[in-house]
Structure 1
Amino acid sequence: MNKNIKIILNYVIGPLVFCLLAWSIYHQLQRQPNWKESFRHIRHALTGPGIWKLWVAIILMLVNWGIEARKWQVVIRRIQPISFLQSWKAIFTGTTMAFFTPNRIGEYVGRILYIEDNKRIQAISLTIVCSIAQLLVTLLAGLGALLYMKNVIAAKQPADVSLLFWINALLWITALGTLILTLFYFRLAWLVKWIEKIPRIERFVRHIRVLDSFNATILLHILSLSVARYLVFIGQYYLLFAVFDVSLTPGQVFASIGVVFLVLAVVPTIAVITELGVRWKASIELVQFFSTNTWGVLATSLSVWVINLVIPALIGSLLILGIRIFRNR
Structure 2
Amino acid sequence: MNNTARYNYFNLFLRITVGITAVLFITTKLINDFPLQLNDIKTTNINWYLLIVVLVLGAFNWGIETYKWRFLIANVRKITFIHAFKFVLTGITVSLITPNRVGEIPARAYLLNDKENLKHLIYYTFIGSYAQLLITWLMGSVGLYYTLNLIEINIPSSSLLILSLLGIFLLVAFFFFEKIKLMVFKFFKIESVIIKQPNQFLVALFYSFLRYVVFFVQYWLVLEAFNIHFTDINSLWLITVCFLIASVVPTLLISELGVRSSVAVLVFSSLSDNNLSIISASVLLWVINIGVPAIIGLFGLKELRIKN
CA–CA distance in structure 1, aligned partners of residues 125 and 233 of structure 2: 32
Residue 185 in structure 1 maps to residue 175 in structure 2: yes
> Is 1:223 matched with 2:224?
no
- Are 2:86 and 1:84 aligned? no
Aligned mate of 2:141, from 132, 139, 143 = 143
Q: Displacement of 1:49 after TM fit?
A: 7.4
Count the aligned residue pairs. Answer: 306
Q: 1:323 to 1:288 in 2, by over 3 A?
A: same
Which deviates more from structure 2 when the two are superposed, residues 105-114 or residues 55-64?
105-114
Decide whether the 8 Å contact of 2:99 with 2:255 is kept in 1.
no
- Unaligned 5+ segments in structure 2 are none
* Residue type at the aligned position of 2:67: R
The Cα of 1:274 is off from its aligned counterpart by 4.2
Q: CA deviation at 1:326?
A: 5.2
The answer to whether 1:267 aligns with 2:249 is yes
Deviations along 1:218-253, whole A, 9 cap, x unmatched? 211110110110111111111111211111247356
Contact 2:100 2:255 in 1 (8 A): no
Post-superposition Cα deviations, 1:171-191, rounded to whole Å, max 9, x if no partner, equal: 11111110121121345x654
CA separation in 2, counterparts of 1:268 and 1:15? 29
Structure-to-structure mapping, 1:152-171, within 5 angstroms: 152=150, 163=154, 166-171=156-161
- The answer (yes or no) to whether the contact 2:101–2:255 under 8 Å persists in 1 is no
Cα gap change, 1:326 to 1:269, in 2 (>3 Å): closer
Match of 1:173 among 135, 144, 163: 163
Structure 2 counterpart of 1:283: 264
Aligned to 1:156: none
Counterpart pick for 1:128 among 116, 126, 129: 126
Which residue number in structure 2 is paired with residue 109 of structure 1? 106
What residue number does 2:238 align with?
A: 256
Displacement after TM superposition at 1:55 (Å): 1.1
Instruction: Say what the alpha-carbon RMSD is for the aligned residues.
Output: 2.6
In 2, distance between residues paired with 1:49 and 1:170?
Answer: 34
Distance change in 2, residues 1:301/1:112 (3 Å): same
Question: With structure 2 as the length reference, what TM-score do the two structures score?
Answer: 0.89
Task: Give 1:10 shift.
Answer: 3.2
Tell me which residue corresponds to 1:119: 117
Q: Which residue of 1 aligns with 2:303?
A: 323
1:109 and 1:277 mapped to 2: Cα distance?
Answer: 27
Residue 244 (1) aligns with residue 226 (2): yes
Q: Output the TM-score relative to the length of structure 1.
A: 0.84
CA–CA separation in structure 2 for the residues paired with 1:4 and 1:181: 44
